[in-house]
A and B are shown apart, each in its own frame.
Chain A
Amino acid sequence: MEKTAHKQLSCGIELACVELPSRHAVTFEFRFLAGTANEPDDHLGLSRLIQETIDLGTENFDGRALSDAFDEIGASHGGWVGREASGYTCLVLPEFLERAIELHAEFLRRPTFPDDKVRVAIDLTRQEWTALQDDAHSLADKLIGEQAYGKYLGRHSLGEAEHLDTMKRQHLVDHWSRTYHGGRIQVSAAGAFDQQHLVDLLGTHFDGYGAAAPAGREHFDVVFNPARMHHNKDLEQQQIGVAFPGAARTDDDYSVQRAMLGILSGGMSSRLFTEVREKLGLVYWVSAWGECPRGSGMIFLGASTTPDRCDETYRALLREVDRLSEDLTTEELDRAVSGLVAKIETQGDATRARCSQLAEDLFQFNRPMDRAEKIAKLKAVTVDDIHRYLADHPREALSVVTLGPRVLEGSETAEPCSAGEPRS
């Protein structure tokens, strides 16, 4: 029997968890409410550097010993850095949950950031910058994110290449001290465990972890930049990215937006796949997706195509969004919604997916959301809702980025270094 709980712990941690007794594993996430948007302006990239080095030395372990300790319990763990948060995820067998929490406390609370490891991490980040140049899709993703979101939310996890030259261990220590404490932590967990036992474990290992008062709950504003920029690069394909503001996760229109994205890009019968790829044969990859920083939303359209088809592909992308106002049918909407609902059900079998959903609910709504509630909202979306959504989110002023050898009609060309190349 599933049992969900939402608790505020005295150490500052906000916990959401679901007991799934029939599962054979536990998965949990520590989410710190500080991401790239929270970094100091002159040292962008700190969040990622902290994550790369935080487990390479602690008060009681060197990096290798800590990794060995995780491997002794067979834990699969990793991390991510986002615009407004940074997370540490772990999958472990139920009998090792206690040890896994203890080891997380060790590196989250007591990192030493060894100077030699920090210097290596900075060197490797320089190489990651070079590697990014060889990954056209990720580079285009970085460029459209920077342009569409603006100064704070548009930052990339690699930061700025020139900031690496002045980055020192002390910068990591200072930023870690500011952003890693109990009041900024949300923990989510799913799987075979006892809730009270988990609460006790977190209390034992995280009581006294810095300030417990809630922090990091503020929103960063999107500073939407409607522009059309081209970045020259020698590529076989042209990368196209388009963005316009959408609904926030907490808006009533979020379910409408989700259904609309399902119609545009939810499966092989979706409009972008059907029209741009299968009927016109313009692309292999085409997609529409939404991102939701807290309190805001952004819709993205993306495609890659050979340069002489770039303008036609761009027009086709926009035409498919506009056409939703003209000829959307109830059958098409119902299909998209039933697809989304079925996927919620199917992925419910995966413990990791359940934990991710909880973590996202906590982040966006400050509470776990009932799956039935989400499904009911999706099922309530009508064709008129989609029409209204499109009218409420006009697309006259778009943020557009192209990366490749050909300038899109009406685009300005960016300075060469703005394609993300390291300047030093």
Chain B
Amino acid sequence: MNDPYTLHTLPNGLRIVIERMPEVNSAAAGFLARTGARDEVPELAGVSHFLEHMCFKGTAKRDWQQTSVDFDKLGSIYNAFTSADRTFYYGWVPKRSIRDQIEIVADMMRPALPEEEFATEKNVILEEIAMAKDSIDHVAFDFVLEKVFEGHPLAWPVLGYDTTVTDLTRDQMHAYFEKRYAADNMMLIVAGNVDPAEIIATAEDLCGHWKPAESKGERKTPEIRTGVANRVVDRFNQQVIAMNFPGPGAGDPLSETADVAASILGGGNSRFFWNIVQSGLSPSAGCFRFDLGDCGLTILTAQTDADVDGVEKLADALREEARDICHNKVRPEEVQRVKNKRRTGLAVEGESPYHRLVQIMDDADYRGAPRTVEQRLADVEAVSVDSVAEFFERYPIDRDGFLIGVGPREWPNCG
């Protein structure tokens, strides 16, 4: 099969990754800024996410309303998100509009940060923080990061805190922008029915003048802590349990194996479903991975009505499943079932430029190069009973991790 990728780097360091998908009628483009909550200092907690909002609020060329109008004229499916280590802006359009789409997003990557919009948008962010406080899942996840990564920038929420967002100034944001949105800390990713030469020429035209960084700063790999903690929130009715253990980073060779192991334990037709959900202990129990370039977590989580007996039973059941999968090899058919589902998922991923965009971003950022659907399938096929056993040997989940409880009960006991 012909290599569908074109990789190119502009003289200023901006990386360009293009996947040709000649069978589709649309195309998607996105700019990745390799920056997120972990790149902030404590007093600026939330600046990455706030900056993401401000990139929609006007440039030297457009005011914010014109940016929105131009996106909508294209009929673009567009948005942006900020995570612990990345900020990504994207749009998905009919193929005829891809150059216009790249032009709008590229323009946003050099925001004007107007003072009056900064003040109004601050209110929007504070509303977003308030909304997150009403979600038990959001509160629980933020508490996991706070405890597991205590002492490291990954410990604070991507949205920041009321206080840090309230106190943030436009000049502080601008200084952060100058440092983090340098050409050589960014990547343009395009997937769809496109001509790579045209895309590169467009990028040279629109982004060739962006400056590279003088200094990007180093990221420190966090220490992953163990312990026990609870957060009592009276207004919630259920109790969330989260058991957190060190896991492989996104670029680790065991990453695919970790995904398969998580599915066997806590996916659809999984051990948690049959042994925990179907025994009535919890309506939802799962195993998730939180993975960044240099570290990761395996998180076992479930929630239940907040009576103490029920919570204890649920925690015991999670521990029992964790012990069993660490001490006894999984069955070959369990591995095969997950592989089969991945094969189907990959078949449809290949028809959606937007979904390819996100996958290319992960691969190019964390692994250094994109993988075709076929290459990803081969990596999944390489997972075996033995590699799952190796995974649990290297990243055990049957011993000290960080046990977290969030809900109306003071559980677990931290004494």
Contacts from A to B (Cβ < 8 Å) = 22-25, 56, 63-64, 67-68, 70-76, 91-93, 117, 119-120, 123-124, 126-128, 130-131, 133-136, 234-237, 266-270, 273-274, 277-285, 304-306, 335-336, 338-343, 345-346, 348-352
Contacts and interface: CB of A to CB of B under 8 A. Distances in A.
Contacts, number: 190
23 contacts: A23-B351, A24-B348, A64-B274, A71-B338, A74-B340, A93-B343, A123-B280, A133-B237, A133-B238, A134-B136, A236-B130, A237-B131, A278-B121, A284-B131, A305-B127, A306-B126, A306-B127, A338-B73, A339-B73, A341-B75, A342-B93, A350-B348, A351-B348
Nearest to B97: A342
A175 to B, nearest CB: 22
Given A70-B269, A130-B305, A282 B127 contact: yes
B70 to A, nearest CB: 8
Contact of A71 (B65, B303, B337): B337
Contact of A67 (B130, B238, B269, B284): B269
Contacts of A280: 120
Nearest to A269: B68
For A124, A136, A273, A340, the residue with the greatest tally of chain B CB atoms inside 10 Å of its CB is A124
B227 interface: no
B331 to A, nearest CB: 11
B348 A25 contact: yes
Contacts of A282: 123, 127
A348 B269 contact: no
Contacts of A236: 130-131, 133-134
For A72, A274, A285, A339, the residue with the greatest tally of chain B CB atoms inside 10 Å of its CB is A339
B72 A336 contact: yes
B64 interface: yes
Contact of B238 (A56, A120, A130): A130
Interface in B338-363: 338-345, 347-348, 350-353
Given A68-B337, A267-B76, 5 more contacts: A56-B278, A130-B237, A266-B72, A268-B67, A268-B78
Nearest to B273: A67
A409 to B, nearest CB: 20
A269 B26 contact: no
Interface in B266-325: 268-269, 274, 277-280, 282-284, 303-305
A279 B341 CA distance: 46
B124 to A, nearest CB: 5
Interface in B38-75: 56-57, 64-65, 67-69, 71-75
A70 B236 CA distance: 37
Contact of A76 (B65, B128, B238, B345): B345
A23 B60 CA distance: 43
B274 A74 contact: no
A119 B280 CA distance: 9
B353 A349 contact: yes
A21 to B, nearest CB: 11
Contacts of B333: 68
Contacts of A269: 65, 68-69, 71-72
Contacts of A281: 120-124, 127
B375 interface: no
B77 interface: yes
B303 A345 contact: no
B94 interface: yes
A235 B212 CA distance: 45
B337 A72 contact: yes
A25 B283 contact: no
B131 A304 contact: yes
B77 A343 contact: yes
B30 to A, nearest CB: 15
Main secondary structure on B side of the interface with A: helix
A73 B282 contact: no
B68 A120 contact: no
Given A24-B347, A128-B283, A282-B123, A348 B25 contact: yes
A346 B77 contact: yes
Contacts of B130: 236-237, 306
A330 B290 CA distance: 47
A92 B344 CA distance: 6
B219 interface: no
A336 B281 CA distance: 48
Contacts of B279: 120
B127 A283 contact: yes
A25 B280 contact: no
Contacts of B122: 281
B150 to A, nearest CB: 25
B218 interface: no
Contacts of A126: 305
Given A24-B350, A68-B269, A335-B73, A346 B340 contact: no
A124 B277 contact: yes
Minimum-distance CB pairs A-B, first 3: A342-B75, A74-B340, A281-B123
Given A23-B351, A93-B344, A267 B280 contact: no
A274 B123 CA distance: 14
Nearest to B352: A350
Contacts of B328: none
A349 B134 contact: no
Contacts of B352: 349-350
A2 B39 CA distance: 49
A90 to B, nearest CB: 10
A63 B277 CA distance: 13
A336 to B, nearest CB: 7
Nearest to B92: A346
A242 B128 CA distance: 21
B135 interface: yes
Contacts of B280: 119-120, 123-124
A91 B348 contact: yes
A74 B343 contact: yes
B24 interface: yes
B381 to A, nearest CB: 12
Contact of B120 (A64, A136, A278): A278
Given A68-B269, A237-B130, A343-B77, A127 B283 contact: yes
Contacts of A304: 127, 131
Contacts of A343: 75, 77
A269 B71 CA distance: 8
B214 interface: no
B56 A268 contact: yes
Contacts of A335: 69, 72-73
B26 A135 contact: no
B23 A22 contact: yes
Nearest to A22: B23
B282 A127 contact: yes
Contact of A342 (B56, B76, B120, B235): B76
